[in-house]
Amino acid sequence: MMSSSDTQTLVYQYGLRRPGEGAEIAHEQMRAAHTLYNNMIEIEHDTADARDALQLRFSPDLGPAIEEKDAKIASLGELRAQIKALKGNRPKGAEALAAHKAESKRLQAEARPLAEAVKILKERIRILRVELRDNEGYRSADAALNAERKASYQAIYDGHAVFWPFYNTVKASVDQAVKATRPWMPLRFSRWTGDGQIGGQIGTKKPSEEAIFGDHPYFQIDPVDPRAWDPAVPRGERRRLQRTTMRLRLGTVPHTRKPIWAEWPMIMHRPLPERCGVPTVTVNRRMHADSEKWTAQVTVQTQRSSTGLDRGKTIALDLGWRTLDTSEPATSARRFESRDESGEVRVFFWRDSSGATGELRLPASIQSSFDHANDIRSRRDKEQDDLRVFLLGALQDRNALPDELREHVSHLWQWRAPGRFVALWRRFGDVLPEAVRDRLRDWYHGGHDEDGNYTGDVYSGDRHRWQYETGCRRKALGHRREVWRRFAAWVAETYDYIIIERFHLPAVIKKPEPEVAPDVSDLEAMQQNRASGQRVKAAPGEARSALVSAARRRGRHVLEVPAEYTTMRCAACGHCEPWTKPAELWHTCAGCGVRFDQDANAAINILARGEAMLQVPGSLEAANPAEAPRKPKWAKRHKPKDGADDA
């Protein structure tokens, strides 16, 4: 039996086609799971409101502090809105610009004390809430509230229609949402869009890889010919052999022990590891425009691989999303994905222990696909705005409309989702004026002639553009994911130790508040907006996750080093200085006069820090919590005791 320190958890994703047998039950289970999620969110909302009321009752100072904080936040929000409006409308002319800057500074000076006061009040509120833990009366009332919460969960468990292994999956999603709740990101209900997930912990015991290819009572895969993954077999033959069928249990026939199965045609493009455990399986459906995509995610636990490489083979990577200027001199570094030379966004710059350097750029084809999808979206938004203006004029006589239609279009001017206009046409097509009905039909499906005959111009309809936009975006996302995966696989197969910076990406990209943000020119603001857009396209977080996942899969070690001053400190002389234009690629050190590529300089510093830490025994586990053994998230989740089915 493997210990937790010898195992690693991996997730294998396989493509599925639409379900055959049990398709209707699968859809019902997805919808029931979505309803169950919202019911649990409602319980959490009620519990949070009741706990707030308890805290106000047992702490007399808490209520006035919260009211004062809310009032100051409202005033601060108004000032921030004024500052943003000023920065977005820079006048021309020296005198007007000077007056504009003076007004902006005045508002910032007025907002800064308010922001500091809000921080002080938030800390005071936090301390008051912590002090309530020592109040015996509050603890008793809070315990009763928790008991009521558990009773509410038990009540919805007794009445829900979700198969019991899926219940734990929904509960885990709610727990994760509650844990991620912040004042600026409250707990929200989930709107049904067609996306769904079923699955979870398959049984009370962790099945083996052999069991799921046999007669496991909850999850089965028809055996696949081993030649399906043999490189010597022609690719077309391998693809044919990889076709199989996956079955997931969705319930039990009442008053019997006969299982209810759903079946999906499956492409098993890679084998599962030998002698692995399979704790969880989920089936996901994602809507892409009006089409659906099914995938299966199989979570496995297997033994860690041994590296077998030289301990000195090390690589350091500097992660970013720098936009390179073609007028600047190029760095003499090996370029991964060299077939696409026109990429302008550098995502990784690396340097290894032998002195070799290289870079990974976002391919230009991915950028163009994202840009094309955004252009289509802009055109759709413009035509939808024109449609809204037309409807507001055509339906302005509300008294002539039926009561139900008048209520439906009462907030027409606020509509943003295209589905609202489609629902208006489909639901009230019989009572709408003919001109309105024809305009909605032409907007969604394309052009018609004066006699109402369809002209075949499907490309002019919003439905086609919706599908086209989604297709472009899916293509770009898939291509980007494959580039990151291939690069991560190359790094993990070549190097034993992978050194990256330790930083929290959301904190790095967070913009400063308006009252402390520096006043920048229009050109600098445009450059910042462009850099933000390039970051979204490059998805550095996804690239980093792919790198860490590939390293763990192959048993490599990932070492995280402090990120402070890796770019500002000169690797040649150690001189550290901030500069006013960090967006520029090249910088000349004021200490030694060396001119260096900022990313190349950062990679050298990262490598030096990592190699120094590797010399200290035990530094790998201390510097990287990911290397420490972890319990799987399902370790504390068990099958519910009451009302559960079993095989």
What per-residue confidence (pLDDT) applies to 308? 45
- The whole-number average pLDDT for the span 535-541 is 86
Per the domain annotation, does 608 fall within a domain? yes
As a whole number, mean pLDDT of residues 122-139 equals 93
Question: In the structure, what pLDDT confidence band is assigned to residue 639 with cuts at 50, 70 and 90?
Answer: very low
- Beta strand 497-502 pairing with 314-323: parallel
Cβ–Cβ under 8 Å, residues 498 and 492: yes
pLDDT of residue 460: 75
Query: For the residues 254-270, what does the mean pLDDT come to?
Result: 91
What pLDDT shows up at residue 365?
Answer: 87
Do 392 and 522 reside in the same domain of the chain? no
Q: What is the mean pLDDT of residues 34-42?
A: 94
The confidence score (pLDDT) of residue 455 equals 56
Nearest to 418 by CA among 383, 393, 389, 394: 383
DSSP of 216-284: -SSEEE----GGGG-TTS-HHHHHHHTEEEEEEEEEE-TTS--EEEEEEEEE--SPPPTT-EEEEEEEE
Residue with tokens 């391998």: 238
pLDDT at 583: 64
Residue 40 in any domain: the answer is no
Q: Which of 160, 176, 200 is the last residue of a domain?
A: 160
pLDDT in tens, 49-101: 999 999 999 999 999 999 999 999 999 999 999 988 887 777 778 888 888 88
Verify that 82 and 19 share a domain, yes or no: no
Residues 461 and 477 in one domain: no
What lies within 8 Å, CB to CB, of 343 at 6+ separation is 337, 361, 362, 363, 364, 367
Give me the long-range contacts of 123-128 (CB less than 8 A, separation at least 24): 124/65, 125/62, 125/65, 125/66, 125/69, 128/59, 128/61, 128/62, 128/65
Q: Identify whether 635 is part of a domain.
A: no
pLDDT at position 160, please? 82
Q: Would you tell me how many other CB atoms lie within 10 Å of the CB of residue 521? A: 9
Last residue of a domain, one of 449, 468, 487: 468
pLDDT bucket at 637, cuts 50 / 70 / 90: very low
CB contact at 8 A, 568 and 590: no
The residues, ordered by sequence, that sit 6+ positions from 282 with a Cβ below 8 Å of its Cβ are 169, 197, 198, 199, 200, 296, 297
Rounded to the nearest integer, the mean pLDDT of the chain is: 84
Per-residue tokens: 62: 């808490």
**pLDDT for the residue 517:** 67
Is there a contact between 573 and 594 (Cβ–Cβ < 8 Å)?
A: yes
Distance CA 382, CA 364 (A): 27
> Six-digit token pair at 49?
């409101």
Q: How far is CA 356 from CA 69, 317, 611, in A?
A: 55, 12, 16
Whether residue 180 lies inside any domain: the answer is no
Cα separation, 392 vs 389, in Å, equals 5
| CA distances for 393 relative to 227, 241, 408, 474, angstroms | 66, 60, 16, 37
Q: Domain ends where: 139, 160, 181?
A: 160
In-domain check, residue 636: no
Q: How far apart are CA 349 and CA 322, in angstroms?
A: 10
CA nearest neighbour of 480 among 614, 597, 561, 366: 366
Place of tokens 């990262």: 606
pLDDT at 521 over 80: no
Closest to 247 in 3D by CA, of 262, 236, 232, 268: 262
CB atoms within 10 A of CB 296: 22
Three-state secondary structure call for residue 13: strand
- Can you tell me the mean pLDDT for 549-558? 86
Strand order in the sheet with 7-16: 196-201, 277-288, 291-303, 7-16, 259-267, 243-252, 219-221
DSSP code for 21? T
Contact 470, 478 (CB under 8 A): no
Rounded to whole angstroms, the Cα distance separating 352 from 499 reads 10
Q: Which domain holds residue 399?
A: 369-468
Strand order in the sheet with 334-336: 334-336, 357-362, 345-352, 314-323, 497-502, 557-562
User: Residue 338 — very low, low, confident or very high, per pLDDT cuts 50/70/90?
Assistant: very low
pLDDT at 450: 52
Q: What secondary structure, in 3-state letters, does 338-351 show?
A: CCCCCCCEEEEEEE
Report the range of poorest mean pLDDT among 121-130, 254-263, 301-310, 389-398.
301-310
Residues 131, 196 within the same domain: no
518 found inside a domain: yes
Alpha carbons 246 and 249: distance in angstroms, whole number: 10
For residue 196, list its beta bridge partners.
285
Domain count, the chain: 4
What is the number of other CB atoms lying within 10 angstroms of the CB of residue 174? 19
- Helix then strand count (H, E) for the chain reads 17, 15
Query: 233 vs 74, 226, 228, 268, CA distance in Å?
Result: 68, 11, 8, 16
**pLDDT at residue 197, as a whole number:** 93
Domain identity same for 493 and 619: yes
**Mean pLDDT score, 540-563:** 89
Rounded to 5°, the CA angle 555-490-314 comes to 65
Q: What is the pLDDT of residue 309?
A: 44
CA distance 398 to 186: 37
The token duo for 592 is 């030694």
- Two tokens at 458? 């499907």
CA 77 to chain centre: 28
How far is CA 560 from its chain centroid? 22
Query: Would you say residue 643 lies in a domain?
Result: no
Asked if residue 545 and residue 423 are part of one domain, the reply reads no
Tens-digit pLDDT profile for residues 577-634? 876 555 678 888 888 989 988 899 999 999 999 988 888 776 666 655 544 444 444 4
Q: What separation in angstroms does the CA of 82 have from each of 75, 86, 116, 402, 512?
A: 11, 6, 18, 43, 16
The enclosing H or E element of 619 equals helix 619-623
Say yes or no: 477 and 596 in one domain. yes
CATH code for the domain of 491: 3.30.420
Do 426 and 511 sit in the same domain of this protein?
no
User: Which of 237-251, 469-483, 521-535 is the least confident region?
Assistant: 521-535
In which element (H, E) is residue 196 found?
strand 196-201
Q: Both 286 and 415 in a single domain? A: no
Mean pLDDT, rounded, for 389-397: 91
266 token code pair: 């499956």
Owner of token pair 């999808």: 373
Contact 198, 189 (CB under 8 A): no
| Coil, helix or strand at residue 589 | coil
Are both 251 and 202 inside the same structural domain?
A: yes
The total of other beta-carbon atoms located within 10 Å of residue 595's CB is 9
Q: Is the domain of 505 the same as that of 583?
A: yes
Rounded CA separation 567/38 (Å): 46
Q: What is the pLDDT of residue 401?
A: 87
296 shares its domain with 250: yes
More confident residue, 632 or 45: 45
Is-contact 83 108, C-beta < 8 A?
Answer: yes
Q: What are phi and psi of 607, to 5 degrees?
A: -60, -45
Any domain includes 182: no
More confident residue, 437 or 643: 437
pTM score above 0.85: no
